[in-house]
Structure 1
Amino acid sequence: METLNFKTNIKCSGCIAAVTPYLNDIEQVDGWNVDINSPDKILTVQTTDNRVGELVQQAVERAGYRAEPIPRP
């Protein structure tokens, strides 16, 4: 299982509801969560395929938000 993190501009539960159908449509995504209390509004994605980062970004953008990958340390 891989974990990918993204800095987003998803601010509230309504925003999360807007991105939900797009993120849930990505087959390789096993789960995801947005920490709206974090200053960077971190989207954490669990996946079996770490190459889905671009698909996640596109899904968030289709919902009208931004997602920038956070490089792994």
Structure 2
Amino acid sequence: MKTLKFKTNINCSGCVKGVSPALNGEKEIAHWEVDTNNPDKILTVSTSTLTPEEVEETVKKAGFKAEKI
């Protein structure tokens, strides 16, 4: 299992709710969370198989931006 971190524009509980179906629907994501208190709105994803680009694409399809850090 690897942990990937991304800077995002997911900045409130409404945004988290909006991105949840996409991230929860990705069966290769074991766990994810967004630190909305961090100025960079850090998304942390635990996965064994997904690449950073695949996670970024999943977030993008939900209408948000994610950039690997």
Q: TM-score, normalised by structure 1?
A: 0.87
Could you say what secondary structure the match of 1:6 adopts? Answer: strand
**Partner of 1:59 in structure 2?**
58
Q: Which amino acid aligns with 1:56?
A: V
Give 1:38-57 correspondences, 5 Å limit: 38-49=38-49, 51-57=50-56
Unaligned runs of 5+ in 2: none
Give me the CA root mean square deviation. 1.0
Could you say what secondary structure the match of 1:54 adopts? Answer: helix
**Partner of 1:18 in structure 2?**
18
Runs of 4+ in 1 over 3 A off after TM superposition: none
Overall identity of the aligned pairs, in %: 52
Task: Supply the distance in 1 between the matched residues of 2:23 and 2:51 (Cα, whole angstroms).
Answer: 11
Q: How many residues align?
A: 69
Cα deviation digits, residues 36-66 of structure 1 (max 9, x gap): 00010000001112x4322211111112110
Unaligned runs of 5+ in 1: none
